Amino acid sequence: MSFMVNIANGMLIYTLVLISILALLYILERFRQNNREWELSRSQLMVCKKCGRVFLIKRQERSRQCPECGNIASRFRIPRTGV
C-alpha cells in the first residue's frame, strides 16, 4: 500500500517539476517579448543622413536632431540583406 503511495507521490512531484519548468520558460519568454516591445514603443532608432550616426530618441520627443551635427535625422531601417 505504501509503495503505491510512493509512486503516486513521485508522479505528483515529477508532474509538478515539469509544470514549473514549463511555466518558468513561458515566463522568461514573456519577459523577453515585453522587453522588446517596451524598447520599440518607448523609443525610436534614428539615423543621421549627414554623418551616419545612429541614436535613440524617445517617442514623445519631437526634435529629431542629430546630437553630433544637428542635422535632422530620419528613422533607421534595418538594411535588408536578401538572405
In the complex, which residues of this chain contact Zn ion (CB under 5 A)? 48, 50-51, 53, 66, 68-69, 71
The β-bridge partners of 43 are: 58
Task: Count CB neighbours of 66 within 10 A.
Answer: 19
CB of 73 to Zn ion, least distance (A): 7
Contact 35, 28 (CB under 8 A): no
CB of 46 to Zn ion, least distance (A): 10
State which residue, 43 or 71, has the beta carbon closest to Zn ion: 71
State which residue, 37 or 61, has the beta carbon closest to Zn ion: 61
Place of cell 531601417: 77
